[in-house]
Chains A and B, each alone.
Chain A
Amino acid sequence: MLESSRPLVQVIDARKSYALGHRSVEALRGVSLEMPGSGFAVLQGPSGSGKTTLLNLIGCIDQPTSGKVLVAGCDVASLADDLQSQFRSKKLGFIFQNFNLIPVLTAVENIEYPLLLQRVGKNEARERALAMMGAVGLAGADDQRPGELSGGQCQRVAIGRALVANPELVIADEPTANLDAATGRAIIALMHRMRDRTGTTFVISTHDPAIAAMAELRFTLRDGTLVSA
């Protein structure tokens, strides 16, 4: 678990610019924030406000143009590519808006995939994946492929995949955007339960106020700047 004295996520004056044709677009304009461990945080704001960009930086799949992002005390951007991959594999979990499951793998195989990447033994990986299937409410759907599952079920598989390796932080980019309202609420409730059970910190982005209201920490972004925390 995390050291209680240190925030799990520290974003220090992070800026991010993208080249768009001949001009540069500034997606983040000096954002600073801190998130403690074992929390449930929401990044909210309208489209284009910089939520996904900030999530990508916190998720260590993108690097700030300037400033720093520390996750579990580590400035991941300074690591070599392979070490970044290892860091993501061990410390982070991802949940995507479009689920991003691997279509040729069954539900349980999708969940055990991160464990196999960490070279966990096949039997142990399968055991842990099956346990996770039960925890996300999909017991019995082990052999079904993503194409045979509903959107809500796919997102449950994605949650299982994000949590199976016991990460410290789960990044979820608009996890309910492709789900109906009831399923979306059920998914957020499941994330809360999993957070309570595992102690994993969740950071999600949303522009749904109802979802945002369910979070303990809310960060509001507008035009690349943090307007409230």
Chain B
Amino acid sequence: MMFWHLALRNVLRNKRRTLATVLAIGLSCAGLVLFGGYVVWAHLASETHAASMTGHLQLFQEGFRSKGAGNPAAYAIASYDGIKRQMLEDEVIGPLLEMVTGQLLVQGMVSSADRQTSTAFLGIGAFPEDLERLARWNPHGLADVRAIAANAELYAAGPELDASDPEGITLGVGLARILDIQMPPPGAATIPPAVELISQPPSGGMANMVSATVRKLSTRPLEELDNRLVFMPLPLASSLLFPGEQPRVTSIILLLKDARALPVIEARLSTLRQQGKLGLEWRNCWDLNPNNVRSVQMMDMFFLFAFCIISVVLIFTIYNTMMMSVMERVREIGTGRAIGLTRSDVIRMFTIEGLILGIAGSLLGLLLAITISAIINRAEILYIPPMVTMHAKLEVLVTSAPDIMAASFFGCLLVALLGAFFPARRASRMVIIDALRT
């Protein structure tokens, strides 16, 4: 206790230097917490984006992931309703599910009779309400991209699909350009452009054709997708491949209430498969969206890099402060040693001073980070993140990431201790009579 008391008095001895050091620690800690808060946002946004694109898990017919790209319809699942029921009623999986839906991948030709154009397309057949529910999936309460004014144009034409419009489809902007299709201005009483979709059924024979109307154009993040992708109602897609049959799907999508349940679900799926109760394979959202994983891993590396740089700078700052303190108190150290301070007492005395600076600076840093994050989160700072086409609001999730706050706080404390230790050790090794002579 005596050492804490003495250290506190010594810390307050040179107030200006202490203030400068505490500020340096505080700003470093605040920078780390803010960056950490942004990395947390990147993790949550990445998870949300991945789940909204593909669900948390997708079940496929055996072999679909390795060979299905050439002929997806050949891997269609006929028993969609049965498997959906099995998932919802499973005692382990059922309670963890938010939604089960299916999608059908279809390839073929799309043509516009009016414009005399045609090209290959890659279609996704989905249930309109489920597709919209996926798109609106936001379990972490991140800023709603639909509420951002800069995205108004993207969402002006409504959702990708509409249950009340069973023939309405959405084309990529690039695909519409290739087909020379132009959408009428919003609100105009013009008939929407029509296209014909043609595809070869997996059973062979004559190609099937269905007519559809283009209800919306959507920009896709990759040019290849933008030039080929078509969203269409699942019954329409299924009727193109399996006319007159019950709708089939190529993937069954599981959306979980909480992504942290993924390992539990995957373990249960393995058990069902081993028991012969499930004849499907599956992939989770991270396997299906590897770019999301790489993006957040890159952010983690940036954070680690920033932490290392800041730590090194901070160690030198604290080392400098503590070294000046030691040099100013050489005679005091000699006196203390003469009247009974041991070397370890001297080390303890100076490291406690470093710890006090670290605690004060880190607390200041947390306060600064909370304040600055509140300002940033209120400001409409917009940018377009990788792999999406809409603007996102810059969010720094400081208060919802206590682990980052704790890591930054204790990291700065550790750095302060390290910075103080070497001057303390030097002080402890002083020759008493030399120290007393100064």
Contacts and interface: CB of A to CB of B under 8 A. Distances in A.
Interface of A: 56, 59, 61-62, 81-82, 85-86, 88-90, 93-94, 96, 98, 100, 102-105, 113-114, 116-118, 122, 161
Contact of B335 (A96, A116, A122): A96
Nearest to A90: B340
B433 A62 contact: yes
Interface in B312-360: 331-332, 334-345
Given A85-B337, A85-B342, A88-B340, A100 B6 contact: no
Contacts of B71: none
Given A61-B436, A62-B433, A116-B2, A94 B342 contact: no
A122 B2 CA distance: 9
Nearest to A113: B339
A89 B6 contact: no
A88 B335 CA distance: 11
A53 B342 CA distance: 22
B1 interface: yes
Given A61-B433, A100-B331, A116-B2, A89 B13 contact: no
A114 B339 contact: yes
Given A85-B337, A85-B342, 6 more contacts: A82-B344, A89-B339, A102-B335, A113-B2, A113-B339, A117-B341
Nearest to B13: A104
A164 B182 CA distance: 98
Chain A to chain B: the 7 pairs with minimum beta-carbon distance, closest first: A89-B340, A104-B9, A100-B335, A61-B432, A116-B2, A85-B342, A117-B340
Given A104-B9, A105-B6, A118-B340, A96 B436 contact: yes
A117 B332 contact: no
Contacts of B344: 82
B1 A59 contact: no
Interface residues of B, number: 24
Given A96-B436, A122-B1, A81 B342 contact: yes
B213 interface: no
B429 to A, nearest CB: 10
B219 interface: no
B10 interface: yes
A61 B431 CA distance: 9
A104 B4 CA distance: 13
Interface in B256-281: none
A187 to B, nearest CB: 18
B258 to A, nearest CB: 53
A94 B338 contact: yes
A100 B345 CA distance: 18
B335 to A, nearest CB: 4
B432 A62 contact: yes
Contact of A81 (B331, B334, B343): B343
B341 A85 contact: yes
Given A61-B433, A100-B332, A114 B338 contact: no
Given A102-B332, A104-B6, A56 B433 contact: yes
A100 B338 CA distance: 11
Contacts of B432: 61-62
Contacts of B332: 100, 102-103
A90 B432 CA distance: 18
Contact of A104 (B10, B335, B342, B343): B10
Contacts of B336: 102
A226 B97 CA distance: 96
B6 A117 contact: no
Nearest to A93: B339
Contacts of A86: 340, 342
Contacts of A100: 331-332, 334-335, 436
A117 B436 contact: no
A122 B5 CA distance: 12
A96 to B, nearest CB: 7
